Amino acid sequence: MIDIRVDFDLTVKRNELSKIPKKPGIYVFYTESNVPIYVGQTDNLNRRIKAHFKGFTNTSRFCDYFHSCSIKIVEDKVHRAIYELYLILTYGDVVNIRGAVRRSDLHKSSEVTKSESYKCLHVLKNGEQCSNRPTLNGYCYLHGGEGKSRREILDEAIKSIENLINQCP
C-alpha cells in the first residue's frame, strides 16, 4: 500500500489571487461550506487558478461555487498526476469524477435544483430514462459520468494511478 500525504502550501480566497505563485502544482477548490468541489494540476498555478475563478475554463458552469483554493507546489509532472488522482478518489464527490456536487453543501440554487422534472440523462437497459435527480453534469450519482457506474469510474482511476506509478523511475 502506498502512503500519500498532501500538505498544502497555501490556501487563498477569491480576493487573494495575487498570493498564488507562478509555479507548477496541484490545487483543490472548496465551496463556502469548505466542501471540496474540484481538483486540478497545472504547470502554472497562478494562471490556471485565476482562470478557474474567472470562469474561463471547463469549470465555468460551477465556478461561482468556488470560495477558496488550497495549493501545493509540485514540480514533477508525474507526481502532480498521482496527487490529482489520489485527491479525486479521496474526496469522491468532486466534479472531476462524476460531475457530482452535493447541492445541499453548496448552499446555492441552480437550474437543475429548480426543475423537479429534470432527470438523469442515463438510459436504462429497458430503454427508459433513469428517474433519479441529476448532478450538474446531467447524470445522477449512480450513473455519474457518461453513464458509467461509480465502480467503473473508480476502477478506471485506480488503473490510471497504477499506470502512473509504474512510469516512475
Query: Is residue 111 assigned to a domain?
Result: yes
pLDDT tens digit sequence for 122-168: 677 787 877 776 665 666 666 665 555 556 666 776 777 677 667 76
Query: Is residue 149 assigned to a domain?
Result: yes
Domain that holds residue 93: 10-167
Query: Is residue 131 assigned to a domain?
Result: yes
Exposure string over 29-55, b if 16+ CB within 10 A, otherwise e: bbbeeebbbbbbbbeebbebbbbbbee
How far apart are alpha carbons 133 and 73 in whole angstroms?
A: 38
The burial of 20, by beta-carbon neighbours within 10 Å (0-12 exposed, 13-18 middle, 19 or more buried), is given as buried
Residue 129: predicted pLDDT = 78
Instruction: Give the domain CATH number at 139.
Output: 3.40.1440.10
pLDDT at 20 over 90: yes
Confidence of residue 110 (pLDDT cuts 50, 70, 90): very low
Q: What percent of the chain has pLDDT over 70?
A: 62
Domains identified in the chain, total number:
1
Confidence of residue 99 (pLDDT cuts 50, 70, 90): very low
Query: Is residue 160 assigned to a domain?
Result: yes
Query: Is residue 102 assigned to a domain?
Result: yes
Query: Is residue 2 assigned to a domain?
Result: no
pLDDT at 46 over 80: yes
Residue 117: predicted pLDDT = 43
Residue 2: predicted pLDDT = 65
- What residue type is assigned to position 129 of the chain? Q
Query: Is residue 5 assigned to a domain?
Result: no
Question: Whole-model pTM?
Answer: 0.60
Query: Is residue 135 assigned to a domain?
Result: yes
Q: Which of 68, 19, 24, 20 is nearest to 42 (CA)?
A: 24
How far apart are alpha carbons 117 and 112 in whole angstroms?
A: 9
pLDDT tens digit sequence for 51-78: 999 888 877 777 888 999 999 999 998 8
The burial of 67, by beta-carbon neighbours within 10 Å (0-12 exposed, 13-18 middle, 19 or more buried), is given as middle
How far apart are alpha carbons 42 and 58 in whole angstroms?
A: 14
Residue 67: predicted pLDDT = 92
